Amino acid sequence: MLDLFLELAALRSPPGEEREVADVVAAYMRDLGLDVDEDGAGGEVGSTIGNLYTRLEATADGIPIFLCAHLDTVPPDGQLEPVVDDGVVRNAGGTILGADDKSAVAVMLEAARRVLAENRPHAGIELLFTPKEEVGLLGAAAFDHTRLHAQVGYVYDQAAPIGEIILGAPYSQAMKVRFHGRASHSGMYPEEGRSAIAAAARAIADLRLGRVDDETTANVGTIQGGTAGNIVPEWCSFDAEARSHDERKLADLVREMLETFAFAASLADCEVETSVKKSYRGYRFKRDDLVVQLAAAALERSGHAPTYGLSGGAADANVFNERGLPCLNLANGMTAIHTSDEHIAVDDLDAMVEVTLALVDAARGS
């Protein structure tokens, strides 16, 4: 399993360019004797691959489950040279490791291998590997979830110690904002210009950004504008987002942000265009929900005390929960994801295999 993870981590797979990794994963599953289906989502979402899906037919009664992980990573900005250093896997190339989410991929494949090799009775297991999760959960959104026989699902996509169960993820709205001003020569006729950059700067300065409250955040992530240093800028665009675990709070915050944009434009005698798009829908589980109970039982069986928390981000689980198929996100021990210090302990990789097998057993026992 460690060798498989090192092999996967050494392959580049930024969003939309997951083919090399997908081929390794598909070949591994076929070597296990599994039929692998790749759907047509690649063309729909702009990826070199579609979703990879396979099913282990049930050999016992119980609750069928599906396991899901994404094959893409945030784009690496250096070499991928995964190494094992004192029991911890790191990247010696000065960029991300890709444990998010290739550690989950390797764990789920190893667990499937163990189930088959040990003739372990189970109530049905489906594996799904998606593209372009990091840029909007696009692969999962393009997957036909009605193909799944499972009643509950699990992703391992939370950077926290093993044992943490994510009971909820936020709702999110994305905003594209473009200010229109008037160009003029900045030295000869500055008074004739209307600076779109100044208007956008005023708007951003007036926003409540960062952690708005214990359930809500907001951010401006990119900005660009103008044409030259000696021209009063006639345009400026930026991307913003807002997230909240409370859908009503999110609606109120988005409305506040739109009003802020309009007010700043009016003060600068500019115009502003805005578009708002749902990024993903949030969800919330209770501790006595079946999908949570199975996970808690599996963690306890494998020696981990369950803890419960909320996530500030999204995962493929958001897509399935929006479609009415309960899907839970479990922490898997990866640390400092999306940074050059990203790492994961070999013991945590091994432990998550045992958690997965315990989850299979818990579902069969139900």
Q: Percent of the chain, pLDDT > 70?
A: 100
**Checking phi first, is residue 258 left (phi over 0); if not, alpha (psi -120 to 50) or beta?**
alpha
Which pLDDT does position 362 carry in this prediction? Answer: 97
Answer yes or no: is pLDDT of 52 > 80. Answer: yes
What is the rounded end-to-end Cα distance, in angstroms, of the chain? Answer: 28
Chain segment 193-231, per-residue pLDDT in tens = 999 999 999 999 999 999 999 999 999 999 999 999 999
Cβ-contact 63, 151 below 8 angstroms: yes
Check pLDDT > 80 for residue 345.
Answer: yes
Query: Nearest Cα to 96, choosing from 114, 110, 75, 117?
Result: 75
Could you tell me which CATH class the domain 171-280 is placed in? alpha beta
Confidence of residue 150 (pLDDT cuts 50, 70, 90): very high
- Locate 261 and state its tokens: 């944009």
pLDDT given for residue 329 in this prediction: 98
Instruction: Report the mean per-residue pLDDT for the chain.
Output: 97
Q: Is 173 exposed, middle or buried (0-12, 13-18, 19+ CB in 10 A)?
A: buried
pLDDT of the residue at 365: 82
Which parts of the chain are beta strand (E)? 37-38, 52-56, 65-70, 82-85, 88-91, 125-130, 152-158, 164-169, 171-180, 210-213, 216-225, 235-244, 271-280, 283-284, 307-310, 327-331, 344-345
pLDDT of residue 187: 93
CA distances from 230 to 63, 150, 189, 195, 224 (A): 67, 61, 11, 12, 16
Closest residue by Cα to residue 182 from 217, 119, 226, 130? 226
2-169+282-365: CATH number: 3.40.630.10
| Residue 257: band (very low, low, confident or very high) from pLDDT cuts 50, 70, 90 | very high
- Residues annotated as catalytic are 72, 133
Q: Which residues pair with 296 in a beta bridge?
A: none
For the chain, give the number of residues: 366
Q: Examine the pLDDT at 342 and tell me if it is beyond 80.
A: yes
On whether the pTM is more than 0.85, the answer is yes
**Each residue's pLDDT tens digit, 288-322:** 999 999 999 999 999 999 999 999 999 999 999 99
**Domain range annotation of the chain:** 2-169+282-365, 171-280
